[in-house]
Chains A and B, each alone.
Chain A
Amino acid sequence: MLRRNFLKFTSVAAAIALMPLEAKAATNSNPLWIFIQASGGWDPTSFCDPKGYNEVDDGSGTMVMESKPMNKSFKKADILTNAQGVKYAPLRANDGIREYNFSDFFENNADDLLVINGIDTQTNGHASGNRYMMSGKLSEGYPALSALIAGITMPSAPLAFITAGGYDMTDGVVAGTRLSNMNAMNELAFVNKQGTNKDGSTINYKDPSVFERILKARESRTQRIINKQKLDSVKALAEQYNLAHTGSNELKKLVEFIPDDIDTHEYKNNPVFSQGRFAMAGYKAGLTASVNIVSGGFDTHGNHDANHLPKLARLFKGVDLLKQDAIDQGIADKVIFVIGSEFGRTPGYNQGNGKDHWSVGSMMFLGKAITKKGVIGGTTDGHTLKKVNSSSLTLDENGISITYAHINKALRKLAGIENNDLLTQYYPLPTSLEDLNLFT
């Protein structure tokens, strides 16, 4: 998909994105989409689809853990339930700095949290699982939903799609951006600035009129280069170059919104928090529509509990911090979190005390735009999926299995892009796929 072909499919929001910055910041009412990929395959039975161990009599009257527990770290009897009926594991783990209580996440977010359990991930391969979760298509070729949302709603914004990796294939509908290093960002926001005078005035490399002249001359020449190309591959690249430079001046705005403590906050190394803060600043600046965040370390084939639970704590803590940031910045109502992983992990433990790949998973969603709360779907005690009724979404053994394709279809609808020509012409989901009303 070439961006020049794609631009014609953009929505009204695209026109907004092309407006002068101040006007755009005032009128952009789209949400900020934060996609968090728990990389490696998380274990829902250790948090939002809890399966604890049972105690059995060892024959001498002493109650001990059953021989093949689903989880060794908590008892089934100790599983907790929040106000919206979400059951969760009663666990604590180190979040990288201090101990984190899982109940903080599930209780504090009770009125904001939707959990979908028993997702049929249809694969237990890492690459294909990530792709399926993020694009709704198991085979290759479709962009990540995060990229599609950014490309459609803010096609010309320089930071529309911020990505730290994971499945972030764009297919050219938008350019993904890495953000880090505040010093560099400051410099890049003001490329013609050499320094500051004692009186606070700016020292420029070139007189501003000269700099402006260079930019205009370069823009004209780029257009001539584009027009001359006979090879689509080169032409597309020149167009991409042109587009990236079109909005390059807007980084100045981003810098204004980046929190002062971005390099000093005690959780600055939390991957969810650190990556998400840049996206929030981009959103506040009217430049960003979505972000891909990766939180790794979940592929715990060995020593599962010791390795996996701290990764969950780190993820939850990162979401907590981001939510607080959103509240502080007055955009709490605008942020949508989509949190998932490529698949789940096998019921019980392997010989290395680890858990392997399992094609039943869960996802979590947070955001005011998502009006459904609580839990959809479910699994058995052995973590095999239960089917749901495609209308009522209640458990129904004659129903259907929820897949990532269903979730992507519903997310497209939530984002208001499901009928965009780009999706219907280039990246359609099967028409036979049930339309599940998962979020509203």
Chain B
Amino acid sequence: MKKIFLLSTNVLLSLSMFSGCGSDSSSTTTSPPKISSDTCIKGYFSDSVSTTLNACVSCHSKGGQAESTRFILQSPLTDNKAANYTIVRSFIKATDSLIIDKGTNSVQHTGGKQMSSSAQAKMQTFIDYVQGNKSCITVDVGGSVSSKSVSLLTTGQTLRSAALKLTGATPTQDITDSTTSLNALDTQLDEYMKSDYFYKWLALRFNDFLLTDFYSPSRNAEDLLSSTDFPEKRWYEKYWTRSKTDQPNMFNDTERYHMYRNVNYAIAREPINLMLHVIKEDRPFSEILTADYILVNPYSARTYGIDINDFTFSNDDLNLSIEEIEAKYPKDSLREAKIDGIPHAGIFTTITYLNRFPSTNTNLDRKRSAKTQLFFFDTDILALANRPIKALDVIGNSATWTNPNCTVCHNVMEPIAGAFSNWDNNGRYRPGWRTELAAFSQEPGLSIENKAPASASNNILQWLSKEMVKDDRFAMASVKIFFKAILGREALKKPQTGDMAYTKALEAYNFEHDILLDIQKKFQASNMNAKVIIKELIKSPLYRANALKTDNPVLAKVLGQAHLITPEALDQKIYDAVGYYWNRYGSYYSQKDNNRSDLHRLLRDDNYKTLYGGINSGSISSRVTELNGVMANVQLRMATQMGCFPTTRDFFFPMKERKLFPYVTKTQEPITEGSISDIKKNIQYLHKHILGEDLGVNDPEIEATYKLFYDTYIEGKERVYNATEDRTLLSECRMYYDPHTFARLESIDEIVYDDKYVIRAWSAVITYLLSDFKFLYETSGE
């Protein structure tokens, strides 16, 4: 039951206001008020009073200047609200309104005035509730949204959607048909989470917030390392010669470049690779922060001076060709390794994390703290500072530690910032380097109460990471990492009482949050196996909803899958649909280099990647998710081009090997019943294959697509007949080369002519389907 708080004298007025605000006729306006309860008072404390204690807690806490008084609080974060409720309530019971008298300095208070007038009013209301002077009234505002109000995709539909997301490929009909239960879905999802594509997809999702691909591939992550600490940095340059003649045991320009790229790739991706490694190995997800190792490849191991037998690149192989070297030492081959003298703490101590979120002598790791808590502790520090402040309020030598306008963030931010203090502004491990600035930092810890022990002074981040992962906030942050990856949006934030449509927003939040809490518990019960989160999210109504039967516009606006496919996912989906990537060139090179991802139009920064909403992890670091006119044209351009050569190409293959046209030939005209039937059957197949639609052959959508095919065919054939259009295909759409060997085909095997306009009619159909809403978006809709 969700509550709002009303003073008893206002109950009737407020209820009538509710009725008059256009709410539906459900229980939201008719439930009787419920008089006073601990739940109500606790709720009021949590929502209205708790954060005002920021003003008190910097002194009135363990280790604070007022620790010898009888009023000792815990940091007013979510997990401490219950404890602080008991503390403040007991204090009020014992001292009545002394807390206000002290806070307003109307009786002598060493800390002076700390309580604003609004905080005072809220505290007074709380005191009235505690002392029984006023009743805390709650009104039922609709309770929770029942799961029964949500219609779901079938398990088969869910599977198809999940398969495309996790593997980039549609499942076979057999697998879809056999997935009739959630257990079967679970089993299949486990299989999908073994695919290479799954880990590539995860890497992109992780980079969306870590942004460490900024350093990969062309920016030099290796240069972030200190030459003093790592004298083997750029080790390959010792073996590099610019001489044009091949010298034995030396790298030429090309080989040197490969070495540089391979080293850089591993170092840039250390944080992301660690996350993938932990998931792949079914380790507790907490290891992403607690790992006492880094992941190296054979080339970065040399940079770090780590010699792993039969793994680290050996000078004995300098005489090999670059192809032989990379075959023997794959750049994606990773090993756990420790660097002597470095207290590794998972992602936190990787060089690219520390540099992507750098520090300065005045920032003192606060940015690192804010990002760390945002990503891994379910705490958005920037969202804590939404209330107005006055400039003069923040004047003072230590305002950030004593003034409530500052402590609201700084008390949360600084202890964790302090935990990074052994790592300098460039990400180098230098314990004690910042001693002279220590006076400007709070003591390191998880919070102002939970300080790091002196014994951890040289490895505070190791201590911190172990503390963080024990906290529920890490578990919830983990759930939200995958929530964003799978649902394509942030989890709903708890609404504030002044927000528009507050009650509906609260219902929506609670509906979603309850599901996330449930998943969090399952995740924790599984020893923090991240795959559990992924499976539970996909099985949840948040992913599978395709209709909502209750009136909650806030929930309806976000429920279910409803998002534009990222450029990276679209790149793969195009390949899955037509068997051919959308790449940079036309003609021969397009075919020969089609698998080269660096040429794919949707993956290149200088082509359509960022125009289509993608990021470059640097100047563009957030995705565009709302389609605009330019992006709409990217869709049309893609569908137009990919309706060209890939259509012709598919006809080259034997029918049973085709992706697009398994039921028709390239000259099959709609002139007999049998032929028309085949064409409609192929259209039916295409709707299923490209759009995932299970339609009867007489469905109006099949008829509409057939009409497009037929009208294009009949008019085009006439133009060819009248010689107003060429009988040959556009040059870019012709098939001249063998798709396997890329050798020129015999002329009889080439596909150049289209006298009957059949190929072009099918090309129109493919363009139509590739530019369709259902191809370009991931949704759980109809």
Task: State whether B637 touches A188 (Cβ < 8 A).
Answer: yes
Which of B558, B632, B767 interacts with A158 by CB under 8 Å? B632
CB-CB under 8 A from A221, the residues of chain B are 701, 704, 768, 772
A64: CB under 8 A from chain B?
A: no
| A224: chain B residues within 8 A (beta carbon) | 700-701
B715 interface hit (Cβ, 8 Å): yes
Binary contact readout A105-125 vs B (1 if CB under 8 angstroms, 0 otherwise): 000000000000000101111
CB pair A218 B772 closer than 8 Å: yes
Query: In residues 96-144 of chain A, which contact B (Cβ within 8 Å)?
Result: 120, 122-128, 138-141
The residues of B that contact A225 with a CB separation of less than 8 Å are: 773-774, 781-782
A175 to B613, CA, bound (A): 12
Question: Which of B389, B553, B629, B633 is in CB contact (< 8 Å) with A359?
Answer: B389
Contact A350 to B633, CB < 8 A, known contacts A229-B782, A230-B547, A385-B391: no
| Interface-centre pick from B622, B719, B779, B781 (highest chain A CB count, 10 A) | B781
Contact B629 A180 (CB under 8 A): no
Contact: A231 with B716, CB < 8 Å?
A: no
Interface size class of B (residues with CB under 8 A): 35 or more
Partner pick for B636 among A124, A248, A358, CB 8 A cutoff? A248
Which partner residue on chain B sits nearest A126 by CB separation?
B382
A138 and B606 CA atoms in complex are apart in Å by 37
Q: How far is the CB of B404 from chain A (nearest CB, A)?
A: 14
A440 interface residue (CB < 8 Å to B): no
When the two chains form their complex, are residues B386 and A236 in contact, meaning their CB atoms are under 8 A apart?
no
**Contact A192–B640 (Cβ < 8 Å):** yes
B560 adjacent to A234 (CB under 8 Å): yes
A residues in contact with B204, CB < 8 Å? none
8 Å CB interface, A225-246 against B:
225, 228-238, 240-241, 244-245
Given A217-B704, A354-B362, verify A205-B640 contact (CB < 8 Å).
yes
Q: Which residues of B contact A13 (CB under 8 A)?
A: none
How far is it, in angstroms, between the C-alpha of A228 and the C-alpha of B695 when the chains are bound?
A: 14
Q: CB-CB < 8 A to B296: which residues of A?
A: none
By the criterion CB–CB under 8 Å, are B773 and A128 in contact? Answer: no
- Among A126, A229, A384, residue most surrounded by chain B Cβ atoms (within 10 Å): A229
Contact of B559 among A128, A175, A188, A233 (CB under 8 A): A233
Q: How many angstroms from the CA of A203 to the CA of B728 in the assembled complex?
A: 13
Give the residue of A178, A301, A358 whose beta carbon is less than 8 angstroms from that of B624: A178
A residues within 8 A CB of B767? 206, 214
Query: What's the least CB distance linking A114 to chain B, in Å?
Result: 22
Q: Point out which of A189, A236, A241 has the most chain B C-beta atoms below 10 A from its C-beta.
A: A241
Instruction: Report the minimum CB–CB distance from B6 to chain A (whole Å).
Output: 22
The docked-state distance in angstroms from the alpha carbon of A356 to that of B366 is: 13
Of all chain B residues, the one with the shortest Cβ separation from A401 is B390
1/0 per residue, CB under 8 A from A, across B698-710: the answer is 0011001101100
A191 touches B782 (CB 8 A): no
Q: Which of B745-782 contact A (CB under 8 A)?
A: 760, 763-764, 767-768, 771-774, 776-777, 779-782
Residues of A within 8 A of B708 (CB): 213-214, 217
Taking CB atoms, residues of chain A closer than 8 Å to B392 are 384
Across the interface, do A232 and B626 meet the contact criterion of CB distance under 8 Å?
no
The chain B residue sitting closest to A177, CB to CB, is B628
Q: Are A191 and B390 in contact, with the CB atoms below 8 A?
A: no
State the Cβ distance, B399 to closest chain A Cβ, in Å.
Answer: 10
Residue of B409, B557, B613 touching A232 (CB-CB under 8 A)? B557
Residues 616-658 (chain B) with a chain A CB within 8 angstroms: 620, 622, 624, 626-637, 640-641, 643-644
In the complex, A350 Cα to B364 Cα: how many Å? 13
Assembled-state Cα–Cα distance A188/B564 (Å): 19
Q: Is A258 an interface residue (CB 8 A)?
A: no
Q: Which residue of A lies closest to B711 (CB)?
A: A213
B157 to chain A, nearest CB (A): 13
CB distance from A329 to the nearest CB of B (A): 21
Whether B546 lies near A175 (C-beta < 8 A) is no
Alpha-carbon gap, A43 to B73, bound state (A) = 38
Across the interface, A234 reaches (CB within 8 A) one of B440, B613, B779, namely B779
- Asked whether any CB of chain B lies closer than 8 Å to the CB of A12, the reply is no
A233 to B774, CA, bound (A): 14
Report the separation of the CA atoms of residues A202 and B766 in the bound assembly, to the nearest whole angstrom.
23
Would A205 and B730 be within 8 Å (CB), given that A184-B607, A191-B640, A220-B704 are in contact?
A: yes
A-side contacts of B557, CB under 8 Å: 2, 232-233, 236
| Residues A302 and B496 in contact, CB atoms below 8 Å apart | no
- Note all chain B residues with C-beta closer than 8 A to A426: 500
Q: Which of A400-429 contact B (CB under 8 A)?
A: 426
Q: How many angstroms between the C-alpha atoms of A138 and B382 in the bound complex?
A: 12
CA distance A168 to B562 in the complex (A): 21
Q: Which of B151, B389, B496, B629 contacts A250 (CB 8 A)?
A: B629
* Chain B residues near A228 (CB-CB < 8 A): 781-782
16 A-B residue pairs with Cβ-Cβ distance under 8 Å, sorted by A, are A126-B382, A139-B496, A175-B629, A181-B606, A184-B608, A206-B767, A210-B760, A217-B705, A230-B546, A232-B553, A234-B560, A234-B780, A237-B777, A245-B636, A247-B629, A426-B500
Binding site for A on B (CB under 8 A): 151, 360-363, 382-383, 385-392, 394, 409, 440, 493, 496, 498-500, 545-548, 553, 556-560, 562-564, 606-608, 610-611, 613, 620, 622, 624, 626-637, 640-641, 643-644, 700-701, 704-705, 707-708, 711-712, 715-716, 719, 725, 730, 732-733, 760, 763-764, 767-768, 771-774, 776-777, 779-782
14 more A-B residue pairs beyond the given contacts A187-B637, A204-B730, A302-B360, with a C-beta to C-beta distance below 8 A: A120-B391, A126-B382, A188-B611, A205-B732, A206-B764, A233-B558, A234-B779, A238-B777, A248-B633, A287-B629, A352-B360, A352-B362, A354-B360, A359-B394
